[in-house]
Amino acid sequence: MSVNSADFHVTMVKDMLQPPLPDDEALAVMGLLHLCPLEVPAGTLSDAPDARLLEPITQRHAAQCLASLWKDTTAEQSQPSFWYNLWNDSKMPETVEELPTAYLKKLEHMAKILEKHATKPRFLLTTL
């Protein structure tokens, strides 16, 4: 499976998750996308076939990925601003090392789900 780099994160999230997704699980996904580099096999990205390491994405991009799950609804979760504001109102840290242990466990749980994607991604939950 090969995906354009601009669509990769949204595709992975939409392929592996279904709404309703509890806010705490959705924020864990946002944490994964925003805080953790992602390894992918060569050939995963159609526009960068040699890429094997994807840097974490911005909060706004991660919020757009989550909002895409509710795209065909009128739910407030369909708005990227909902997720962006929830992330920032929750005063989430900017590094994995700053995460509380309980939250890190949520990230690990959601990583296991997303890592079952057909592209075989692997989240790097610790710094390189």
What pLDDT sits at residue 50? 96
Q: Is 30 helix (H, G, I), strand (E, B) or coil?
A: helix
> Given this model, what pLDDT does residue 1 score?
82
| pLDDT > 60? residue 75 | yes
Residue 128 scores a pLDDT above 50: no
Residue type, 78: S
Q: What is the pTM of this model?
A: 0.93
Distance CA 114, CA 75 (A): 23
With a CB cutoff of 8 Å and minimum separation 6, the contacts of 102 are none
Helical spans, DSSP H, in the chain = 8-16, 23-35, 59-67, 80-89, 101-114
* Residues facing 3 on adjacent strands: 45
- pLDDT tens figures, 35-62: 999 999 999 999 999 999 999 999 999 9
CB 103 within 8 A of CB 125: no
- Pairing type for strands 38-39 and 122-123 reads antiparallel
Return the percentage of the chain with pLDDT > 70, whole number.
98
